[in-house]
Amino acid sequence: MTAQILVRRCLSAANVVSTRHLYCTHRKSAGVRALYDGECPICVKEIQLLQFIQRNRSQKVEFVDISLQGYDGANYGGISYDRAMEEMHVIDENDQVHVGVPAFTVMYRAVGLGWMGCLMSLPLIRPLMDTGYAIFARNRLRWTGRDECTTGRCEKKKKKE
């Protein structure tokens, strides 16, 4: 199968099922949960946009603000606050945890932007996305003028050191 045919199928189906193998399906999403940092202005803008996009969908992504004091990782795939702060985590409808760029593809598919997830997964684009996101994730606190202590959870880290 040629890459062109694969891309056309992917864009027409507009749903990513696998981020390792690029193929698409019309499977419906249910129960997708996206963990995000509600103190990150860039993250919040993206989540607000996705909430707007999914407003008319019957199955909605649950966006979970990990910066709230009540966040308990045990309720979200065992993902601790510290792990969730490192990079994007999305828990799919089968309770599988996706991290980094694959998390975005699952989240975009669930809100109806599967075509974007397909594009992000293309063999020539995926390495660029992985590198770009890794740089962003590593530097987002500094770039948005914050440090880890804005939520008060850094006290635990200081005691461990």
Return the DSSP state at 2.
-
Which band of pLDDT confidence, cut at 50, 70 and 90, is reported for residue 154?
low
Pairing state between β 89-91 and 62-65: unpaired
Task: Name the pTM for this structure.
Answer: 0.73
pLDDT tens for residues 74-102? Answer: 999 999 999 999 999 999 999 999 999 99
Distance CA(111)–CA(31), nearest Å, equals 11
Pairing state between β 97-99 and 33-36: unpaired
When the pLDDT of each residue in the chain is averaged and rounded to a whole number, the result is 80
- Per-residue pLDDT, 144: 85
- Per-residue pLDDT, 6: 46
Please check the confidence at residue 65 and state whether its pLDDT lies above 60. yes
Distance CA(38)–CA(40), nearest Å, equals 6
**Of 158 and 43, more confident:** 43
Which ranges of the chain would DSSP assign to H, the alpha helix?
3-13, 41-53, 81-86, 101-111, 114-121, 126-143, 154-160
- What percent of the chain lies above the pLDDT cut of 90? 64
DSSP assignment of 90-110: EE-TTS-EEESHHHHHHHHHH
Question: Residues of 124-142 as b/e, b for ≥16 C-beta within 10 angstroms?
Answer: eebeebeeebeeeeeebbe
